[in-house]
Amino acid sequence: MRKVVKFGGSSLADAGQFKKSVDIIRADASRVYVIPSAPGKRFPADTKVTDLLIRTYETVAAGNDPGELLSRIRGRYEDIIEGLGMNYSLDEDFEEIERVLREDPTLDYTASRGEYLNGKILAEYLGFPFVDPFETIFFNEEGQLNSYKTEKVLSLRLSGTDHAVIPGFYGQGKDGKVKTFSRGGSDITGSIVAGAAKADVYENWTDVSGFLVADPRIIRDPVAIHTITYRELRELSYMGASVLHEEAIFPVRSKGIPINIRNTNKPDDEGTWIVESTARKPKYTITGIAGKKGFCAVLISKSMMNSEIGFGRKVLEAFEENRISFEHMPSGIDTMTIVVHESEFVDKEQRVVSAIHRLSQPDSIEIESGLALIAVVGRGMRSVQGTAARIFSALAHARVNVRMIDQGSSELNIIIGVANEDFETAIRAVYAIFVDTQL
Ligand code: ASP
């Protein structure tokens, strides 16, 4: 059994959190490859080291002296080293960082040092070899992960070491310089390492006990999801549920490696298992609820539209011409609705409307704004009768007016459009009808 374990920024924010993470690693001999993030927030008003580093780069780029910021960053690491009772000097590392900042500063290099330094300290403390992703994780010309080369180089490197600390978040770009993933990208590194090491499990340690059925900012103490499939997770994260970086599932998914989201502050909680497929019935009919505000619906009507071949394509062409991607497309007999992000749409709305008229000659076009979308997701919905009825009667009881419904053909989700103001009420109503009633 081999596990890859990734620790998020809050799990490594200070010496106390470092110790908890190290205890977790040492508690299980199969936890052999460790991926650290940069130190995160120690308290709500604190600043993440990555954000301090980004500011450092901006200061340098503006021609100003980053000295004060660098000493603040260094202080964060010195505190960790001291708190762990280590004898470790950062002199050389900071000399090198300062040299690069003088000679060839880039945003990605600067931002990546948070993980780099945390990795050096953690490797030293654990007595594990340090494997630099600059030499083992590669990007292609388009800035995407070069999975082929990465897998080859990284698995070879790991086959030569039983244990390793591999910092998250960065690798080497095609230009030979450090390149980072998007924010939160250490999750992706963990997944890449798990894939390359053919690990049995990818444990992702964070500060919550897994995925919650609904957003804790809307529902007080929501229950955690025990097992979720990759497809369900994709639906929920697309709609705003965030615990894991969206791209982190791909490297492990194709290899059938499960991801286990765990809580560093409550290591006995089992957390959430993210799996390809499962025979486990979800505890409730639904697996989770997520949603986002700020959508617009463009309702296009034309009588006899159903028999006009190519009508839908022409309408979509109007959006494509204006480089707007659409989210959903529920349709009726003589109507078609295109749901788009309001922020991407407003500036271009009149151009889109005239393009739809030009391309497809509809009878009328109506635009409705201020829409929120809620996704009710669950593999269990397929086999339970009356799920939709329960959702809509719960919404009716809560006096929420449903403005749009779209059920994916997978029967994995039902998307409901409500007014932005009804968003929270609607989520509470759906949560209550499934979770509070234990059904
Ligand atoms: N430290 C990086 C960030 O704050 C990457 C990560 O934590 O995953 O975005």
At 278 the pLDDT is: 86
Please tell me the predicted confidence (pLDDT) of residue 374: 95
Over pLDDT 90: what percentage of the chain? 81
Query: Which atom of ligand 1 is least distant from the CA of 51?
Result: 4
Average model confidence (pLDDT) across the chain:
94
pLDDT in tens, 283-300: 788 899 999 999 999 999
Closest approach atom of ligand 1 to CA 114: 1
More reliable by pLDDT, 385 or 63? 63
Residue nearest atom 6 of ligand 1, based on CA coordinates: 184
Q: pLDDT tens digit string along 163-174?
A: 999 999 999 999
**pLDDT value, residue 242:** 78
Pairwise CA distance, residues 436 & 439, whole Å: 8
Judging by DSSP bridges, how do beta strands 404-407 and 178-180 pair with one another?
Answer: unpaired
Q: What band does 49 get if pLDDT is binned at 50, 70 and 90?
A: very high
Cα 50 to middle of ligand 1, angstroms? 7
**How big is the chain by its Cα radius of gyration, in Å?**
25
The reported pLDDT for the residue numbered 316 is 95
Q: What is the pLDDT of residue 439?
A: 58
Whether 28 has a pLDDT exceeding 70, the answer reads yes
Dist. CA 247 → ligand 1 center (Å): 14
**Ligand 1 atom having least distance to the Cα of 9:** 7
Residue nearest to atom 2 of ligand 1 (CA): 184
Q: How far is the CA of 39 from the centre of ligand 1 (A)?
A: 9
Query: What is the residue with the minimal CA distance to atom 8 of ligand 1?
Result: 184
pLDDT at 407: 79
SS3 string of 371-410? Answer: EEEEEEECHHHHHCCCHHHHHHHHHHHCCCCCCEEEECCC
The answer to whether residues 70 and 94 touch, using CB atoms and an 8 Å cutoff, is yes
The per-residue pLDDT for 438 is 64
* Confidence grade of residue 240 (pLDDT, cut at 50, 70, 90): confident
Residue 254 has pLDDT above 90, yes or no: no
Contact 209, 263 (CB under 8 A): yes
Q: Which atom of ligand 1 is nearest to the CA of 38?
A: 1
User: How many angstroms is it from 289 CA to the middle of ligand 1?
Assistant: 25
- Best mutation site among 55, 56, 137, 169 for ligand 1 pocket (most ligand atoms within 8 Å of CB): 169
What would the mean pLDDT of 75-83 be, rounded to a whole number?
97
Q: What is the pTM of this model?
A: 0.87
Our mutation pick for probing the ligand 1 site, out of 49, 116, 186, counting the most ligand atoms within 8 A of Cβ, is 186
Greatest extent of the chain over all pairs of C-alpha atoms, in Å: 78
Residue range 173-231, pLDDT digits in tens:
999 999 999 999 999 999 999 999 999 999 999 998 899 999 988 999 899 999 999 98
Q: Which atom of ligand 1 is nearest to the CA of 189?
A: 8
Return the pLDDT at 404: 86
Angle, vertex CA 376, rays to CA 372 and CA 382, nearest 5: 145
Domains in the chain, CATH or no CATH each? 3-275 (3.40.1160.10), 288-438 (3.30.2130.10)
Ligand 1 mean position, distance from CA 348 (Å): 34
Q: Mind listing the pLDDT tens digit for each residue in 131-175?
A: 999 999 999 999 999 999 999 999 999 999 999 999 999 999 999
Distance 397 CA to ligand 1 centre (A): 42
42 contacts 13 by C-beta, under 8 angstroms: yes
The closest-lying atom of ligand 1 relative to the alpha carbon of residue 184 is 8
What are the pocket residues of ligand 1 if the criterion is a CB atom closer than 6 Å to any ligand atom? 9, 37-38, 48, 50, 114, 168-169, 183-187
CB neighbour list of residue 314: distance below 8 Å, 6 or more residues apart: 356, 359, 360
Q: Could you read off the pLDDT of 378-430 as tens digits, one per residue?
A: 988 877 788 888 999 999 999 999 988 887 766 788 999 999 999 999 999 99
Counting ligand 1 atoms within 8 A of each CB, the residue from 48, 193, 242 with the most, and so the one to mutate, is: 48
pLDDT at 409: 65
CA of 114 to the centre of ligand 1 (A): 8
Of the listed ranges 2-6, 81-85, 357-361, 378-382, the least confidently predicted one is 378-382
Residue 152 CA, ligand 1 centroid: distance in Å: 25
CB 208 within 8 A of CB 262: no
Ligand 1 centre and the CA of 239: distance in Å? 21
Kindly give the distance from the C-alpha atom of residue 434 to the centroid of ligand 1, in angstroms, as a whole number. Answer: 34
